[in-house]
Structure 1
């Protein structure tokens, strides 16, 4: 187990490596995951997430690849909570914590490194001041990233504020288990242990309704190929799913060609799944020069459902003064062809 470090153009990178050569690279800007390297059925290691070729692109293009999103992930309709006017950065709405500043593209402080015989990790912090983006309270957000020898990578986000405020963080990594974005995600297999999903209006804002997935293209309760389902959903997947609380993984992603498999378990009550459908930009050079294409990656954002402050059934994202709240998500990476 080891932690490798390097600096490039003022950005600090930390690579967590376990004894089986799996690695996770995190940069201090945005507490952003820039690479996760796992092996395929032939033992070849490759990056299984989407990432820019140049570190500065994460900051300049602000596209959330691998970024920590806080204080509140997703949309807040009309950018208002109680008497507080939040930053309007998505039309009249508030998106991903606002942009004055945008926490996902600011430098985080490395508080300490973790290193034991079977785990390596980082603890990063960001302090967002009272009034930033309209939120009340000065909040300390702590991000823990831990990799173990069994291929489990755990992300924990803890928020603590000196005033009553909102907190609903997530990580915005796009996965592509083919490795280095060799193929679209269409033939990869997804399973989500969720009976309900959050319906959206024509502006992609939750309506508050939680339809059952039965008989719909949102039914991933059994292993299902992603492409045919996405083809039935206008604009593709960008929806939240209400997770069932089970002792086994709540989300599974599988690529039969490479054999790579990801399982996810979280204490958050939902996961927002995005297939990056219609997301194309030739200016973005990803994973060794590839342009961003529709359905090149799949994000699995563990959180409470977006716009929760307007829908009681979504759960509360209000946190009280000096009472820390932690969201934790564990991803385990394996290969189905390993014996």
Structure 2
């Protein structure tokens, strides 16, 4: 049975911040805080039963408060990029922060997105439920949005990330967990790990803006082809800057008739440790980012470990980036009377 312990992690703007530690009977351990719903630690056994923390992050709350590249955090109200920080909904234009300095785009909810708030939290069986109301006008978004985010850890070594939201006014919603994974821990790069993505297509971006062009392009015979498991370092050799930061269009579940059902999205495996992480989701896309920008600043992580380019990778299950400006990408508009819901599972196992 999964147990949950809580401890004081610090304070943020006069509010107490709590760290929850979830541990199952197999010894797998998940630590998450109600500041930004950040997953701070994830200890997973290798083929010999030895535990290793497989997510990047910090030991102290102050390091998260000082700013970071979304290590383990929730991204919202609308994750990924929105062109020019502007969108029109029902004939009304809304202006958002253009907070991604290199590109001038709106990114991951703005300057004070969901990752920078203290959430209400309560234990719920083998998980923790985090709640907050994002008020009308917050970061320029319309509507009072009630959000519920549940993070759980099962006896079967499955970490589950669920989101629910309701609004009193039409708005945009795309909620993402932004953990950086390295199945070998914090001492080595991700080059030797293998990745498979259940997608035949990507939504390519303009390299100067990192915005989708609107095209949907086949991955076959390209650097982006992970339809079969592929060593990440080998794929990186076929990119100009060894870079990956792109959305994959996931295959629908067989017989689902387009319905949002949980199905395989990606598999990350580490030959050295034997760890395997299978990602399953009901969402239409997954953003593969290989951490190539981590060397742009100095990030001194856990136990003083410096995180540099390719220290970890993200597999962010999501709606497509900038969907509000590309009707064929799918709907990210939530209206009163509707409920936003998503579920992603990270299933951990080992191979000999």
Q: TM-score range by the shorter chain?
A: over 0.9
List gaps (5 residues or longer) in structure 2.
12-16, 255-262
Match of 2:171 in 1: 165
Give CA-to-partner distance per residue, 1:107-149, whole Å, 9 cap, x none: 1111x2122xxxx100001211101111110101110111110
Contact persistence 2:85–2:96 (CA under 8 A): yes
Q: Gaps (5+ residues) in structure 1?
A: none
* Mapping of residues 119-268 of structure 1, within 5 Å: 120-179=126-185, 181-202=186-207, 203-235=209-241, 236-246=243-253, 249-268=264-283
The secondary structure found in structure 2 opposite 1:174 is coil
Per the alignment, residue 39 of structure 1 pairs with: 45
**1:80 pairs with 2:95:** no
1:299 aligns with 2:314: yes
How far apart, CA to CA, are the structure 1 residues paired with 2:29 and 2:306?
Answer: 24
Secondary structure of 1:301's aligned partner:
strand
Determine if contact 1:74/1:306 at 8 Å carries over to the other structure: yes
Q: Partner residue of 2:113? A: 102
CA distance 1:281–1:287, change in 2 (3 Å): farther
1:309 pairs with 2:324: yes
Rounded Cα–Cα distance in structure 2 between residues aligned with 1:290 and 1:194: 34
Partner residue, 2:60 = 54
* Paired residue total: 330
Residues 1:89 and 2:99 are matched in the alignment:
yes
State the superposition RMSD in angstroms: 1.3
Question: Contact (CA 8 Å) 1:52, 1:284: kept in 2 or not?
Answer: no
Distance 1:241 1:137 in 2: 30
| CA deviation after TM superposition for structure 1 residue 40, in Å | 1.2
Once the two structures are superposed, residues 142-176 of structure 1 have per-residue CA deviations (whole angstroms, 9 ceiling, x without a partner) of: 10111110111110111111001100110000000
Q: TM-score, normalised by structure 1?
A: 0.94
